[in-house]
Structure 1
C-alpha cells in the first residue's frame, strides 16, 4: 500500500489528506506522490490534495480545509499519507536522549531538525499511506456512531480523525504495537449517543442543565483522561529500565507462552490485566516487560496519591489514569469514569492495575478490595461489553527492597506517605543486588456477560477466581524456600548439608505436584544457588558462619519478620499438606481412630484459618486433601481405622511442613486469644485496641520464648486473628459465658502450638 497508494484511488475522484506539520514534510510527501505517479506512467491524477497537520496536533484538528471537498460523491476515495521519522537507524539506539527533552520529539521533528536529519540520514524519513475509504463509507460510519445526521463540519472533523487513525495503524507496522494509543478520547466520548443519553438522564436526576453537565464533564476529562504519546512512552520505558536495573538483573524471567496467549486475547476481547502488588517496582516492571515485548501499551489505573510532581506528569503521558480516592457523592465523575473505561474496552485498549488490597505486608495474597474491579465491571456492564477477560499476572522477585519497611510497619510503625522526596529516597534504597524478577500469567477469568455488581457477591466471586489463579502460577523462589526452611528450624541453624537436603526434599515434592519452581531453587545447580545465597547474606536476610567444622546458615537475628514475608509468598502451596499433618498429629496424640475424626479436624482447621488463605469449595478441598495423602499411601483412610494408624500414616509424610508454614499464624492467633482472655470478665475489645495490645504482648512472648519467632508478630496477622475471634462472637460484651469461651479458645491455640512443635521435632534431623 505505502509503495503504490494510487492503486487505491483508481481512476475515480479522490481526496488525498497530506498529514504534514511543516513545509519539509509536505515537500517530501509531494515528491513521493509524484514518484508514484511516474512509476505508474501517469502525469496527473483526479484527486484533491489537502494538507492537515494531524500527527502534530491530534487532539485539536482543524478540518476546515476538508469542507469544500465533501461535496464530492459517495464513491470519492479518501487516502491519507504521512512521513514517519525513525529515531535511529540503529535499533539499539531507539531510546530517547536527554537532549530530546530540550530539542523536541525526534519522531515529530520541527523543520530545522527535519532538514538536518535528511541531510545526515535521509533513510530516517519514510513515507506511508493509511488504509483508504470512500466518503460514503465514512458518512455511514459517523451516522452509526452519532445516531443521527451530522453537519458538514462534524463530518470533516470525523474524516480527519479517521485519517489519523489509519495512519497510526500503518505507522505501527513499522514501529511496533507498543505505540498503540487512543486519540481524541474526550471528543469521541462527548459526541457518542450513549454518553448524551446518560447526560440527559443525569439532568433529570440532578436538575443541572445538559450544557452545564457537559461543561463540567469536560473539566473532569481533562483531569482523568490519560494522554499517551509514543515519545513519552519511550521516556517512560527508559525510566522503567533505570529503576529495575538499580537492583535487579536486566533479563527478567517471563512465561513466554502465557505472554503470547494474552497478547492474542487483548486483540480480540476487552481485557484487564490484574497484577499482584508487592512493591512500588511492580508498575515499572510490568510496563517495562510489556514494552520490551512489543505489547500494546496498557492504561494503568491508580490512585491520585501517586500523581505527585514529576512522576505524575510523565505517567499520564505514558497511559496512567489517576482516579480520585473518593467520589461517592459525585455522580458526574462516576459517569465520566464509567464511559471512559467503557470506551477503552470497546477500542481494545487493555486496562491494567494492581490487584487491590493484595499488597500484603506479610507476603501472602490477602482478601482483595473491590474499588477498581468494581468500576471496571460497572463500566463493562453499563456499556454492554461482552467477553471481558480479566487476566491474572503474578509478579515475583528473588528479593524485595520494601520488605524491611513492611516488617517495621507490621511491628507498629506508621507508613510514610508518598511524595517526590519519598520516591527519590525509595530509589536510592533499591541500589543493592536483589536477583531476578519473574512474570507468570494465569488463565483468564472470562465474563461473557458482565453481571451487575450491585450484588457484592459477584465481585467476590470474580476476585476469588483471580486470587486462586495468581496463587496457582506463583513460582517457588529460592529465598522463599530458604526462609521457610530456616524459620521452621529457628532458632536452630542448619548446616549446609542439612539445608540442601531439606531444599531437595521440598523441590522434589513440588515437582511431583507440578508446582512452578524458579531455576535458582533447583538444588542441582550449586553455582546459581551459591550466588543467590551470597546476595541474601549481603542483603542481611541470612547469616552464615564459616569458622566452625561445618558451614551453617540461619535467619539473621533482626530479620525474622523479613524472612516471614518471603516464606508467606509460597505458604499457600503447602496449606493442604499442613492441615493434613496437623489433623493426623491430633489423631496420633489423642489416640483417635477412623477417617471421620480426621475429616472433622481438617474441616475445623480450614475454618480456623479462613481469613488467611484462599480455599477451594469444601468438596474440592476434600479432594485436594485426598490427592495429597494418596501420594504417600492410597489406603490411608482404611489405615486410620486401625489402632495407631494415624501415627503410621504421618510417619510416611516426608518432608513435614506444618511447623514451617502454619506456626506463625497459630502463634499470632494465640497471642490475640490470650489478649482477649486477659480482659476483664465480659468486657468488649475493639480491633484497634486488640492489635495494640497484641503487638505489646507479642514482643513479651517472644522474649519469653513462648513463641518461636518475631515473624509471628504483625498487625495484619493480629487483624485476621481478631476477625476470627469476632466471627466466634468473642469480642463483644455482656454474655455470661464470654470469659470462659475466650479462655477455651486461647487454650485451644496453645494446644495447636504444642502439636506443631511435635511435628517440628519429628521433622528436624
Structure 2
C-alpha cells in the first residue's frame, strides 16, 4: 500500500522517558489493522525504540455488541505508568464534501467512510489522500484507574473487566475528538452512553435504593432500565446524520426557498455558547418542520448534533428509525409514576449536559394552533434542570429560538381542528402524505436566536415557582426575537379592514405605517423583509392569493385586496405570529377611550384601572412583563404620542380625540377583537345558566362551538376566527379565575350577567376604535 507519505506526516508514539507504551488499535477489518501496525513499526524502527509496545485490536465503534475486551484486560496488568495510546484510520469520501454524503445508495454499496477490507486496500493503494491516521490523547494506566474508581461501581468479580471497558470507552472518546479535526464538528456524537450510565456508581446506588423500596432485586431493575435505555437513548452515526441532513434539506426545499434566513453572527455566538456551557435550545413550535430547521442550520454550520426530544407518537417505522439515529430522544408521553424511568432519563440527560451535547425541543410542547406563542410546558424543562441539579452543572444557558415561516402548510389543518374536528393519528402513511403536501411555494423560513436565560445553577427539584419564572423568561425572549414578516403585516392590515377590501395603495399605506411603528421601537423585523411593497404584490402576496388566504379583484377601476372567503381563521394565524408586539398599544387605546368617558378628575385613575383590568382579562393569552415594568412600558409607549399625556387625558373626549388621531396605526380592533368576541361567547353562554349549575371545561368548549356559530350567523361576532377550541379553553380559564364556573351561591347569576355586559361593553369600545381607524384611513391623502 502506498502510504509512505501518510506515515511520515505524524508519529503515533507518545513522548516518554522509559515508560512502557500500550497501543489500542481501533480496527474494523484486517486492512485497517495492517495500516496501523505499519504506522507504529515505521516510527518504531526509525526512532530505535528499545522494546516493542503491546498492541490490542478492538472495534470501538460497534456500540450494539459491546467490546471484546479480553485482550485489553490482560494488557492492563502492565505497570501503572504505562502510557495508553489509541490509534484509528479515518477514511474520507472521494468527493470530500458533506453535501454529497448521506446518500441512500450507500445502504447498498456501503458508506465510503467505512470501507470493507478489500475496498480499503484499493483506496489506500490508489487514493492514499483519503486515508488519515489519527491518534487519541494518550494517558497512563494510573490516571485512568483513578478516574474509573472515582465515578464507577467497583465489584471484585468484575472489576478488571469493568475497568477494561472503561478504558475502551475513553479511547473511543479521545479518538472521536481527533477524528473531528478531519471530518468536522458536526460529527460529534455521544458514544457508549448506555454502558457508561449502567457502570456509573451513583446510578447503581440509586437503582439499589429503588430496589429496596419496591422489594425487587437490583438486577431485575437494571434489566428493566436497559430496556428503557434502548428505547430512549439515541444512537447517532455520521452516516445517518448525513442522511437526516439531506432529508431535512429535501423536505424544507419542497416548498421553501433554499436558504434559511438567519443572522450568521448570532449563530457564531451560539456556537461559542454551546461549546463552553451546558445548553438547551428551546424553539417555538408552529409546524412539524420546526424540528428540521434547527438541525439543518446546525449541520450547515458544522455544529455538534443537537439532541431533540420527541414524543413516542413519532417513533413509527421509517421516520422513527431515521430520527433515532440522528439524535432524537423518544420519551413516553406519561411516566410520572415510573420512578425507574425518571431516574434513567435524568441520568441520561445529565450525561449529555456534562459532555456538552446541546439539547433542543419545542418548549410549548405542541404546535401553536393560533400562531401566537403557546404557554410553555414544564415537563421536559423540569427533568433537564433536575438532571443539571443532580450533576451540579453551572452556568446553564437556555437559549430561545424563534422559527417562523412566510406560509405554513399546517394552518388549514389547525383551522379545521379549532372547529372541533379531530386530528388524524401520525403514521408512516400520514407522514408520506404530509411531505407530499409540502410541494407548493410557501416563501421563506426564518430562524432567530434570542439572548440566553442564564442560570448560575439549576433550581432545587420541586421549586415550581422558579421553574415557571425561567419558562416565562424564555417565552418573553422568544417573542422578542420573533421577526415581523410580510405575511404577518399584510394579514394584520386586511383583517383590520375586514369585511371591507383595500386598494393596493391603502394596503401599502397600512404596511408603511405598521413598519414605521415597529422600526421606531426597534422591534425584530426580518432581515429579508422587502420594503418594496409594490414588488411584493406579485411575489409573496401572489403565493397568499394562490393559497386563497387573500383574494384579489382586478376587474374594477382599481385593484382591491381582502381576506379570502372563510379564510379569517387562517389569516388570523399569520397575524397572531406578531400580535404580541401590539398588545400594549391596543390596551392603551382601549384604556384611553374608557378614560375619556369618565369625568375629568377621574380620567387618570380610570385609565390605569382599565390598563390593569385588560391585562388581567387577557392574561391567559399573552405574556406580560411584571407589573411595575409593564406600567413603565405603558408610560413609555403613550409618551411617544404626547409627553404631557396625563394632562391631555384630563381634557376629556377632546383630549382623547387629539391623542388617538396621533396614534396611527390603531390596532385594538385587529389585536384584541378575536379574543374579546370569544370570551363574550363563553360569558354569554354561562349567563344563560342557573346559579346552581356548574360548568366544566369540555362542556364549555363544546357548547361554545355551537353557540359561537349561532352568534356569528346572527353577526353578534364579526368573524369565524373568533370561534375555536383554544380560544374557548382560555375563555373558560378566565371564567374560572373569576370563580364563575362552580355553581352554588345565589349571587352567581348577577355576577355572570355582569361579566357578559362587561365584555359587550369592551366590544363596543373596540368597534369605536375600528371606526376611528376607518375614518383616519379615509381621511388620509
TM over 0.5: yes
Cα distance in 2, alignment partners of residues 345 and 90 from structure 1: 31
Unaligned runs of 5+ in 1: none
Q: Which residue of 2 is the match for residue 368 of structure 1?
A: 376
Residue 632 of structure 1, aligned match among 641, 645, 654:
641
Equivalent residue of 1:672, what SS?
helix
Cα distance in 2, alignment partners of residues 117 and 9 from structure 1: 34
Q: Which residue of 1 is the match for residue 403 of structure 2?
A: 395
Residue 728 of structure 2, aligned match among 707, 718, 721:
718
Distance 1:681 1:451, change over 3 A: closer
Q: Deviation at 1:7?
A: 4.8
Aligned pairs for 1:5-16 (under 5 A) are 5-9=12-16, 12-16=19-23
Q: Which residue of 2 is the match for residue 47 of structure 1?
A: 53
Q: Deviation at 1:682?
A: 4.1
Q: Which residue of 2 is the match for residue 96 of structure 1?
A: 102
Cα distance in 2, alignment partners of residues 161 and 529 from structure 1: 59
Deviations along 1:729-748, one digit per CA (max 9) or x if unpaired, are 22222221222222221121
Equivalent residue of 2:181, what SS?
helix
* Conserved 8 A contact 1:56-1:108: no
Q: Deviation at 1:387?
A: 2.5
* Conserved 8 A contact 2:459-2:467: no
Unaligned runs of 5+ in 2: 1-7
Q: Deviation at 1:126?
A: 1.4
Equivalent residue of 2:400, what SS?
strand
Q: Deviation at 1:56?
A: 4.3
* Conserved 8 A contact 1:274-1:353: yes
Aligned pairs for 1:439-478 (under 5 A) are 439-478=447-486
Cα distance in 1, alignment partners of residues 292 and 88 from structure 2: 32
Cα distance in 2, alignment partners of residues 122 and 60 from structure 1: 31
TM-score by length of 2: 0.94
* Conserved 8 A contact 2:278-2:353: yes
* Conserved 8 A contact 1:59-1:183: no
Deviations along 1:197-231, one digit per CA (max 9) or x if unpaired, are 21121122111122222222222222221111111
Cα distance in 1, alignment partners of residues 102 and 310 from structure 2: 26
1:29 is the counterpart of 2:33: no
1:687 is the counterpart of 2:697: yes
Equivalent residue of 2:469, what SS?
helix
Q: Deviation at 1:117?
A: 3.4
Tell me the C-alpha RMSD between the 2 structures.
2.0
Equivalent residue of 1:71, what SS?
coil
The count of aligned residue pairs is 764
* Conserved 8 A contact 1:358-1:365: no
Aligned pairs for 1:293-308 (under 5 A) are 293-308=301-316
* Conserved 8 A contact 1:504-1:522: no
Aligned pairs for 1:184-199 (under 5 A) are 184-199=192-207
Aligned pairs for 1:391-540 (under 5 A) are 391-519=399-527, 521-524=529-532, 526-528=534-536, 530-540=538-548
Q: Deviation at 1:320?
A: 0.8
Deviations along 1:611-631, one digit per CA (max 9) or x if unpaired, are 110111110110000110111
* Conserved 8 A contact 1:88-1:94: no
Q: Which residue of 1 is the match for residue 622 of structure 2?
A: 613
Equivalent residue of 1:254, what SS?
coil
Equivalent residue of 1:563, what SS?
helix
Residue 340 of structure 2, aligned match among 322, 332, 338:
332
Deviations along 1:39-74, one digit per CA (max 9) or x if unpaired, are x55477642222222234576111222233323222
Cα distance in 2, alignment partners of residues 81 and 359 from structure 1: 46
Q: Deviation at 1:262?
A: 2.2
Residue 145 of structure 1, aligned match among 137, 140, 151:
151
Q: Which residue of 1 is the match for residue 757 of structure 2?
A: 747
Deviations along 1:461-492, one digit per CA (max 9) or x if unpaired, are 11111111111111111111111111111000
1:123 is the counterpart of 2:132: no
Equivalent residue of 2:357, what SS?
coil
Q: Which residue of 2 is the match for residue 647 of structure 1?
A: 657
Equivalent residue of 2:105, what SS?
helix
Cα distance in 1, alignment partners of residues 61 and 139 from structure 2: 19
Deviations along 1:511-540, one digit per CA (max 9) or x if unpaired, are 111111124544236435641111111122
1:286 is the counterpart of 2:279: no
Equivalent residue of 1:47, what SS?
coil
Q: Deviation at 1:503?
A: 0.5
Cα distance in 2, alignment partners of residues 573 and 331 from structure 1: 43
Q: Deviation at 1:341?
A: 1.0
1:709 is the counterpart of 2:719: yes
| Bigger mean CA deviation after superposition, 18-27 or 1-10 | 1-10
* Conserved 8 A contact 2:261-2:528: no
* Conserved 8 A contact 1:695-1:715: yes
Q: Deviation at 1:89?
A: 3.2
Aligned pairs for 1:237-386 (under 5 A) are 237-357=245-365, 359-386=367-394
Cα distance in 2, alignment partners of residues 714 and 191 from structure 1: 51
Cα distance in 2, alignment partners of residues 598 and 323 from structure 1: 49
Equivalent residue of 2:76, what SS?
helix
TM-score by length of 1: 0.96
| Bigger mean CA deviation after superposition, 93-102 or 20-29 | 93-102
Aligned pairs for 1:144-223 (under 5 A) are 144-146=150-152, 151-223=159-231
Deviations along 1:528-553, one digit per CA (max 9) or x if unpaired, are 56411111111221111112111111
Q: Deviation at 1:657?
A: 0.9
Cα distance in 2, alignment partners of residues 662 and 540 from structure 1: 24
* Conserved 8 A contact 1:2-1:128: no
Q: Which residue of 1 is the match for residue 742 of structure 2?
A: 732
* Conserved 8 A contact 2:286-2:367: yes
| Bigger mean CA deviation after superposition, 333-342 or 25-34 | 25-34
Q: Deviation at 1:362?
A: 1.0
Q: Deviation at 1:329?
A: 2.4
Q: Deviation at 1:588?
A: 2.5
Q: Deviation at 1:592?
A: 4.7
* Conserved 8 A contact 2:691-2:747: no
Cα distance in 1, alignment partners of residues 641 and 512 from structure 2: 17
Cα distance in 2, alignment partners of residues 311 and 387 from structure 1: 35
Deviations along 1:646-673, one digit per CA (max 9) or x if unpaired, are 3322221111111111111111111111
Residue 587 of structure 1, aligned match among 588, 591, 595:
595
Cα distance in 2, alignment partners of residues 56 and 680 from structure 1: 69
| Bigger mean CA deviation after superposition, 721-730 or 488-497 | 721-730
